[in-house]
Amino acid sequence: MIRINLLPYRAERKKENIRRQVGIYTLSVMLVALGCYYYHLRLNSNIKRLNSEINYTNAQVAKYKKINREIEEIKKKLAVLERKTNVIKSLDADRKAPVHVLDELYHLLVEKRMWYTGLTEKNNQIKIQGVALDNQTVADFMTRLEKSKQFNNVRLASIRKETIKSKNIDLKKFEVAFNRVVASSVKTQQKKGKKR
Protein backbone atom coordinates (compact mmCIF):
# COMPACT_ATOMS: atom_id res chain seq x y z
CA MET A 1 0.00 0.00 0.00
CA ILE A 2 1.19 3.38 -0.91
CA ARG A 3 1.06 6.13 1.61
CA ILE A 4 0.86 9.76 0.55
CA ASN A 5 1.84 12.41 2.94
CA LEU A 6 -0.67 15.27 2.52
CA LEU A 7 0.66 17.34 5.38
CA PRO A 8 3.10 19.42 3.32
CA TYR A 9 0.36 20.13 0.81
CA ARG A 10 -2.03 21.23 3.56
CA ALA A 11 0.67 23.32 5.19
CA GLU A 12 1.47 24.89 1.85
CA ARG A 13 -2.22 25.56 1.29
CA LYS A 14 -2.52 27.08 4.74
CA LYS A 15 0.44 29.38 4.12
CA GLU A 16 -1.05 30.47 0.84
CA ASN A 17 -4.38 31.25 2.51
CA ILE A 18 -2.56 33.30 5.12
CA ARG A 19 -0.66 35.15 2.39
CA ARG A 20 -3.87 35.82 0.51
CA GLN A 21 -5.61 37.09 3.66
CA VAL A 22 -2.64 39.29 4.50
CA GLY A 23 -2.67 40.62 0.89
CA ILE A 24 -6.40 41.26 1.01
CA TYR A 25 -6.02 42.96 4.40
CA THR A 26 -3.12 45.06 3.16
CA LEU A 27 -4.99 45.92 -0.02
CA SER A 28 -8.16 46.85 1.92
CA VAL A 29 -6.10 48.99 4.34
CA MET A 30 -4.48 50.73 1.38
CA LEU A 31 -7.87 51.27 -0.27
CA VAL A 32 -9.28 52.71 2.97
CA ALA A 33 -6.22 54.96 3.34
CA LEU A 34 -6.55 56.03 -0.28
CA GLY A 35 -10.27 56.72 0.22
CA CYS A 36 -9.51 58.76 3.37
CA TYR A 37 -6.82 60.69 1.52
CA TYR A 38 -9.22 61.43 -1.37
CA TYR A 39 -11.95 62.47 1.09
CA HIS A 40 -9.40 64.68 2.90
CA LEU A 41 -8.40 66.36 -0.38
CA ARG A 42 -12.03 66.87 -1.30
CA LEU A 43 -12.81 68.41 2.11
CA ASN A 44 -9.76 70.69 1.80
CA SER A 45 -10.86 71.87 -1.63
CA ASN A 46 -14.39 72.51 -0.28
CA ILE A 47 -12.93 74.42 2.67
CA LYS A 48 -10.77 76.52 0.33
CA ARG A 49 -13.74 77.19 -1.95
CA LEU A 50 -15.98 78.15 1.01
CA ASN A 51 -13.21 80.35 2.48
CA SER A 52 -12.82 82.14 -0.86
CA GLU A 53 -16.62 82.61 -1.03
CA ILE A 54 -16.61 83.96 2.55
CA ASN A 55 -13.78 86.36 1.68
CA TYR A 56 -15.64 87.48 -1.46
CA THR A 57 -18.86 87.93 0.50
CA ASN A 58 -17.04 89.89 3.22
CA ALA A 59 -15.48 92.09 0.55
CA GLN A 60 -18.93 92.68 -0.97
CA VAL A 61 -20.41 93.45 2.46
CA ALA A 62 -17.61 95.95 3.15
CA LYS A 63 -18.16 97.50 -0.29
CA TYR A 64 -21.91 97.84 0.26
CA LYS A 65 -21.40 99.16 3.80
CA LYS A 66 -19.22 101.87 2.33
CA ILE A 67 -21.87 102.60 -0.31
CA ASN A 68 -24.57 102.67 2.40
CA ARG A 69 -22.50 105.14 4.44
CA GLU A 70 -22.14 107.32 1.35
CA ILE A 71 -25.90 107.08 0.72
CA GLU A 72 -26.62 108.08 4.34
CA GLU A 73 -24.26 111.05 4.02
CA ILE A 74 -25.96 112.06 0.76
CA LYS A 75 -29.40 111.74 2.42
CA LYS A 76 -28.23 113.95 5.29
CA LYS A 77 -26.85 116.51 2.84
CA LEU A 78 -30.10 116.39 0.86
CA ALA A 79 -32.10 116.95 4.05
CA VAL A 80 -29.92 119.95 4.92
CA LEU A 81 -30.28 121.30 1.38
CA GLU A 82 -34.05 120.80 1.51
CA ARG A 83 -34.25 122.68 4.82
CA LYS A 84 -32.11 125.48 3.35
CA THR A 85 -34.30 125.58 0.24
CA ASN A 86 -37.44 125.79 2.37
CA VAL A 87 -35.91 128.61 4.40
CA ILE A 88 -34.95 130.44 1.20
CA LYS A 89 -38.47 129.97 -0.20
CA SER A 90 -39.93 131.22 3.08
CA LEU A 91 -37.63 134.23 3.12
CA ASP A 92 -38.41 134.91 -0.52
CA ALA A 93 -42.14 134.75 0.16
CA ASP A 94 -41.74 136.96 3.25
CA ARG A 95 -39.64 139.40 1.24
CA LYS A 96 -42.35 139.80 -1.38
CA ALA A 97 -45.26 139.79 1.09
CA PRO A 98 -45.18 143.52 2.00
CA VAL A 99 -45.14 144.48 -1.68
CA HIS A 100 -48.11 142.19 -2.40
CA VAL A 101 -50.00 143.56 0.63
CA LEU A 102 -49.46 147.17 -0.43
CA ASP A 103 -50.37 146.37 -4.04
CA GLU A 104 -53.56 144.61 -2.95
CA LEU A 105 -54.46 147.48 -0.60
CA TYR A 106 -53.91 149.96 -3.43
CA HIS A 107 -56.33 148.04 -5.66
CA LEU A 108 -58.93 147.84 -2.87
CA LEU A 109 -58.87 151.60 -2.28
CA VAL A 110 -62.12 153.38 -3.16
CA GLU A 111 -60.61 156.03 -5.40
CA LYS A 112 -61.37 159.72 -4.83
CA ARG A 113 -63.57 158.79 -1.85
CA MET A 114 -61.00 157.66 0.73
CA TRP A 115 -57.31 157.95 1.65
CA TYR A 116 -54.94 155.96 3.83
CA THR A 117 -53.24 157.85 6.67
CA GLY A 118 -51.46 154.96 8.39
CA LEU A 119 -50.71 151.26 8.17
CA THR A 120 -49.25 148.89 10.77
CA GLU A 121 -48.60 145.14 10.55
CA LYS A 122 -47.65 142.79 13.35
CA ASN A 123 -47.78 138.96 13.18
CA ASN A 124 -49.93 139.05 10.01
CA GLN A 125 -52.42 141.39 11.69
CA ILE A 126 -52.87 144.64 9.79
CA LYS A 127 -54.46 147.90 10.95
CA ILE A 128 -55.25 150.65 8.49
CA GLN A 129 -56.07 154.21 9.48
CA GLY A 130 -57.66 156.47 6.93
CA VAL A 131 -60.23 159.10 6.09
CA ALA A 132 -63.30 158.73 3.91
CA LEU A 133 -66.02 161.03 2.65
CA ASP A 134 -68.81 159.02 4.30
CA ASN A 135 -69.79 155.83 6.10
CA GLN A 136 -70.82 154.11 2.85
CA THR A 137 -67.27 154.47 1.50
CA VAL A 138 -65.86 152.77 4.63
CA ALA A 139 -68.47 149.99 4.22
CA ASP A 140 -67.54 149.55 0.55
CA PHE A 141 -63.85 149.34 1.48
CA MET A 142 -64.55 146.70 4.14
CA THR A 143 -66.64 144.70 1.63
CA ARG A 144 -63.72 144.76 -0.83
CA LEU A 145 -61.38 143.58 1.92
CA GLU A 146 -63.69 140.67 2.77
CA LYS A 147 -63.87 139.61 -0.89
CA SER A 148 -60.08 139.67 -1.24
CA LYS A 149 -58.25 136.35 -1.06
CA GLN A 150 -55.29 138.07 0.62
CA PHE A 151 -57.15 139.14 3.77
CA ASN A 152 -59.69 137.71 6.22
CA ASN A 153 -61.31 138.45 9.58
CA VAL A 154 -62.10 142.07 8.63
CA ARG A 155 -63.47 144.22 11.48
CA LEU A 156 -64.06 147.91 12.06
CA ALA A 157 -61.97 149.08 15.01
CA SER A 158 -63.27 152.66 15.11
CA ILE A 159 -64.97 155.35 13.06
CA ARG A 160 -65.55 158.98 14.02
CA LYS A 161 -66.43 162.24 12.45
CA GLU A 162 -63.66 164.74 11.73
CA THR A 163 -64.28 168.22 10.45
CA ILE A 164 -61.80 170.26 8.47
CA LYS A 165 -62.79 173.76 9.60
CA SER A 166 -60.81 175.67 7.03
CA LYS A 167 -62.78 174.08 4.17
CA ASN A 168 -65.90 173.25 6.20
CA ILE A 169 -65.83 169.55 5.16
CA ASP A 170 -67.03 166.65 7.32
CA LEU A 171 -64.97 163.48 6.89
CA LYS A 172 -65.02 160.06 8.55
CA LYS A 173 -61.79 159.02 10.24
CA PHE A 174 -61.68 155.22 10.51
CA GLU A 175 -59.51 152.33 11.61
CA VAL A 176 -60.00 148.86 10.13
CA ALA A 177 -58.24 145.73 11.41
CA PHE A 178 -57.85 142.45 9.51
CA ASN A 179 -55.50 139.48 9.09
CA ARG A 180 -53.19 138.76 6.19
CA VAL A 181 -53.60 135.24 4.79
CA VAL A 182 -50.25 133.39 4.70
CA ALA A 183 -49.03 132.48 1.20
CA SER A 184 -49.43 128.70 1.70
CA SER A 185 -53.04 129.23 2.81
CA VAL A 186 -53.73 131.32 -0.29
CA LYS A 187 -52.33 128.55 -2.54
CA THR A 188 -54.46 125.96 -0.74
CA GLN A 189 -57.57 128.09 -1.20
CA GLN A 190 -56.77 128.62 -4.88
CA LYS A 191 -56.37 124.84 -5.39
CA LYS A 192 -59.71 124.21 -3.68
CA GLY A 193 -61.30 126.85 -5.92
CA LYS A 194 -59.91 125.16 -9.06
CA LYS A 195 -61.25 121.74 -7.98
CA ARG A 196 -64.76 123.14 -7.64
pLDDT tens digits along 93-136: 777 778 888 888 888 988 889 999 999 988 889 999 999 999 99
| pLDDT > 50? residue 10 | yes
Average pLDDT over residues 75-103: 87
28 pLDDT band, cuts 50/70/90, is: very high
pTM: 0.50
Domain ranges of the chain: 88-195
Percent of the chain exceeding pLDDT 90 equals 59
59 pLDDT band, cuts 50/70/90, is: very high
Average pLDDT, the chain: 86
Cβ(104)–Cβ(128) below 8 Å: no
1 pLDDT band, cuts 50/70/90, is: low
Average pLDDT over residues 64-73: 94
CATH placement of domain 88-195? 3.30.1360.100
Nearest Cα residue to 159 out of 178, 135, 143, 182: 135
pLDDT tens digits along 178-193: 998 876 544 444 455 5
Percent of the chain exceeding pLDDT 70 equals 88
Task: Specify the higher pLDDT residue, 27 or 2.
Answer: 27
